Copies of this chain bind each other. A is one copy, B any other.
Amino acid sequence: MPLSAYAAAFPGFIQTLTALSAVIDKALAQAETRKIQPEVLLSSRLAPDMLPFTRQIQLACDFVKNAAARVSGGENPKFPDEEKTFEELKERIAKTLAFVRSVDQAALDSGVGKDVTFPRGQGQAVMKGEVYLTRFAVPNFYFHATTAYAILRENGFDIGKRDFLGDVFEA
């Protein structure tokens, strides 16, 4: 039994984005107890030349949104990078989840066999849909999701890998 293009990647994206939203809730509650201004965390980075928490969440969302839009060949809504609070980042995640849940799954299946063209640096990159989804979108998404989680862990927040994974055992 082969997998649909949707099944190959999107249930994992949805599970992990949902888990990230719950991780933000946990971090907010702990920040209050620890008397940490939440905004301090939004600009926190693992290294001075890495992106801060806010950008990690925005990018995690965008790799999922762009994968859904570009591989299916459907409309690709632009989500402006304007979030200033954890609540707004949760809304970004919610918007992303709503979008990918509405993607045309048959169009995804057809799109993995076609070329995907997308902006990269000053130019454009072209990649087969299958490669774009499984070797570009998937690693990039988990990279940014894990880095967001790692920023909170490195700041002493009491979260664990089960929080990162989400509800796989309840599926």
- Chain A interface size, as a band, is 35 or more
Q: Is A29 part of the contact surface with B, judged by Cβ < 8 Å?
A: no
Provide the residues of chain B in CB contact with A136, threshold 8 Å.
165, 168
Residues 1-43 of chain A, each 1 if its beta carbon lies under 8 Å from chain B, else 0: 1111101110110011000000000000000000000000000
A residues sitting closer than 8 Å to B (CB atoms) are 1-5, 7-9, 11-12, 15-16, 46-47, 50, 109-110, 112-113, 125, 127, 130-131, 134-136, 138-140, 142-143, 146-147, 149-150, 153-154, 156, 161, 164-165, 168-169, 171
> Could you write out 18 A-B pairs with CB less than 8 Å apart?
A1-B5, A1-B113, A2-B4, A3-B3, A3-B5, A9-B134, A11-B134, A12-B135, A46-B150, A46-B153, A50-B153, A127-B171, A131-B171, A136-B168, A139-B165, A142-B143, A150-B150, A154-B154
